Amino acid sequence: MTRLFEDFNQRSEEVSKYLIFIQSLQQGKSQAKKIDNELENTLKASAYLLLYNLIESTMKNAIEAIFDELQNQDVSFDNIKPGLKKIVLQNLNRRNPDKILTQIQNISLDIVKIGFNREELFSGNIDARVIKNMARQYGFSAKTDYLKTANGGDLLTVKTNRNNLAHGTQSFAEVGRDKGADELIKIKDQVVEYLREILENIKTYLDNKEYLDDSTSLP
């Protein structure tokens, strides 16, 4: 989790510096050197790509940390929560049996991690709804401070704009036209705080071994 938070903080800082740069450009437009409006809008739209990258990479790292913990703690398939069992089986179903057979020594332990592939987690579709659904499946809390996070509502805005750019539905100039730098910074602040609180929830989940099924007893 330490590396997870370090990576999250570094990526968050990258987005913050980028938006501060755009803000400074806007504030300096009255000076002799003026930035072209379309270029300014393109720069603002690019912020959505940075923010989406932060969201997806953070959650991929977080889910990977859960599976790493299960493996490091030698947690058996028999002892994890039903929702997590379903995820493990779904992961395993995507694997070629011939490729994983030689990696299995103790099936109740090995199948927990062996089917996991972080690149299959998301494909341009992550927002707060997806995170809340994952929280229900894995068993960690999705509760956050609404006043600071708006319950992750801005993640949908980021995802929608990112996908419009990625699929060519809208140009960068069009997407960047809607928000000023100050508004983008507010979106960034709420997104970052939402992700930070979700990470804290996952840390609690791992620290308290909330992935274990209370109805089973460890050997």
pLDDT in tens, 8-65: 999 999 999 999 999 888 877 545 455 678 888 999 999 999 999 999 999 999 999 9
Alpha helices in 106-180 (DSSP H): 107-114, 128-138, 146-149, 153-166, 172-176
Asked if residue 215 has pLDDT above 80, the reply is no
What is the pLDDT at residue 94? 86
Q: What is the token pair recorded at 163?
A: 């996908």
Q: How many domains is the chain partitioned into structurally? A: 1
109 found inside a domain: yes
Alpha helices in 73-142 (DSSP H): 82-93, 97-100, 107-114, 128-138
Q: How confident is the model at residue 218 (pLDDT cuts 50, 70, 90)?
A: very low
Residue 194, domain extent = 2-207
102 found inside a domain: yes
139 found inside a domain: yes
216 found inside a domain: no
Residue keyed to tokens 């393109």: 42
213 found inside a domain: no
212 found inside a domain: no
What is the pLDDT at residue 36? 79
Q: Which residue has the higher pLDDT, 103 or 121?
A: 121
What is the pLDDT at residue 105? 84
218 found inside a domain: no
Average pLDDT over residues 177-194: 96
| Contact indicator for 33, 173 with CB cutoff of 8 Å | no
